[in-house]
């Protein structure tokens, strides 16, 4: 008689915010390529995953996708009232 072990495969949860950020960054990368602007993965510069460093003229520009904090799907607009 053989003993068998039950193996449970767990799937990694897919964060919809991460998918949205990846989609936006893919659009940005494609747009940069179309106009001939060079960019590199920000991880090569010690930046967080998903960040890119764009080389424009004599300057570098960091582009980092940031989604609203946990529990929010959209940013809330701030309305200011003028003092009289």
10-67, pLDDT tens digit by residue? 888 888 999 999 999 999 999 999 999 999 999 999 999 899 999 999 999 999 999 9
28/52 Cα distance (integer angstroms): 10
- Domain boundaries, given as residue ranges, for the chain: 16-63
**Which residue has better confidence, 9 or 82?**
82
Residue 75 binned pLDDT confidence (cut-offs 50, 70, 90): very high
Q: What is the pLDDT of residue 40?
A: 96
Q: What was the pLDDT predicted at 1?
A: 59
pTM over 0.85: no
Contact between 68 and 74 under an 8 Å Cβ cutoff? The reply is yes
Would you say 29 and 39 are in contact if contact means Cβ atoms under 8 Å apart?
Answer: yes
């Amino acid at each position: 008689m053989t003993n068998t072990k039950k193996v449970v495969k767990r799937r990694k949860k897919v964060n919809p915010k991460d998918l949205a950020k990846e989609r936006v960054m893919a659009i940005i990368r494609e747009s940069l390529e179309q106009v001939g602007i060079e960019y590199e993965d920000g991880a090569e510069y010690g930046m967080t995953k998903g960040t890119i460093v764009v080389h424009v003229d004599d300057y570098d520009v960091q582009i980092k996708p940031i989604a609203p904090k946990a529990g929010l799907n959209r940013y809330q607009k701030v309305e200011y009232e003028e003092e009289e």
